Amino acid sequence: MPPTGPRTVLSAAPSWTFFVGSAVFHYLGPAFAVLLFARLAPLGVAALRIWSAALVFALWRRPWRAFAALDAEGRRTVLAWGAVLAAMNVCFYLAIDRVPLGTVAAIEFLPVVVLAAFGARTARNLAALVAAVCGVYVLTGVRPAGDPLGLVFAFANAVLFAAYIVLAHRTAGRSRGVSGIDGLAAAMLVACVFVAPVALWHAPALIDPVSLAAGIGVGICSSVIPYVCDQLAMARMARSTYALLVALLPATATVIGVVVLRQLPTPAELAGIAFVVLSVALHREPSSGKKEKCDM
């Protein structure tokens, strides 16, 4: 009888399935967070998301042990990753409070297209990259107007998201004897420290039972499930391939915006989504001769 169990199932699953899981939850949680803004300010939602995710990781992975096992360079990477996670989440929530979710997701793709371009070494992958850029451009251009400050936060979030991919992919390689998920758990604990002033400022609102429960749900949906899926995907994908698949995020955000927020897409948005799907269908993973195993 062949071996069964969670690790066996995860090892057998195609790498793209982890990315799809990440893409769905990456914006499903924030979509619910928008609904939570009626009870809690965006900064409070961001802090509650990070703190609740850090608590889950602390109970699950005991990240201080992984941090202690790292060398000096590994600790610097985790500290930088935690700072990026904190700043990225704050900018993201300040952006979606002012700009439609689909637009923020589209802007988020722009810097990472550079990462994808570095890996487009074949004509087929170059065509995939062009299709992805066209699709995201259409999605981005659908709503060119918006709150100027919201757009500033959206572009800041995009730059930080590119940094997140670089740091997360570096940790996913487990080059220092620590799994990517344990590195993520340690980084989330660091992010928890960075947002502590924000959490303390919004402490009175955070003790509301409804807001607290909803915020914990947002944290699990936004920072635990998708980030773990990211690590499982990055351990088995080239960085350029992962960056190209980020083109799915604007399309996913548009669909979730329809389902959760009733933000109906236009024909132009549907065309943009079609370009994104085409890009994913065209792309082929560069052959590396080495395949990582999933480590839970």
Per-residue pLDDT band for 291 (boundaries 50, 70, 90) equals very low
CB atoms within 10 A of CB 282: 17
Between 128 and 81, the more confident residue is: 81
* pLDDT above 60 for 47: yes
CB atoms within 10 A of CB 24: 18
Lowest mean pLDDT among 210-219, 246-255, 263-272: 246-255
With b for 16 or more beta-carbon neighbours within 10 A and e for fewer, the 61-85 pattern comes to: bebeebbeebeeebbebbbbbbbbb
**pLDDT at site 212:** 82
pLDDT digit string (tens) for 64-115?
Answer: 998 998 888 889 999 999 999 999 999 999 998 888 877 787 788 777 776 6
**pLDDT at site 116:** 67
**pLDDT at site 124:** 72
Alpha-carbon gap, residue 160 to 249, rounded angstroms: 15
Between 92 and 256, the more confident residue is: 92
**pLDDT at site 42:** 86
Query: Position 27: which residue type?
Result: Y
Per-residue pLDDT band for 285 (boundaries 50, 70, 90) equals low
- For the chain, domain boundaries: 15-282
* pLDDT above 60 for 172: yes
Give 190's contacts (C-beta < 8 A, 6+ positions apart). 78, 79, 81, 82, 83, 85, 86
* pLDDT above 70 for 146: no
* pLDDT above 60 for 296: no
Per-residue pLDDT band for 198 (boundaries 50, 70, 90) equals confident
pTM strictly above 0.75: yes
**pLDDT at site 1:** 47
* Mean pLDDT of all residues belonging to the chain: 79
Between 261 and 41, the more confident residue is: 41
* pLDDT above 90 for 61: yes
* pLDDT above 50 for 154: yes
- As a whole number, mean pLDDT of residues 205-217 equals 79
Helical axes 209-219 vs 15-36, angle rounded to 10°: 160
Between 284 and 234, the more confident residue is: 234
Between 204 and 180, the more confident residue is: 180
**pLDDT at site 62:** 93
User: In percent, how much of the chain has pLDDT > 90?
Assistant: 25
* pLDDT above 90 for 188: yes
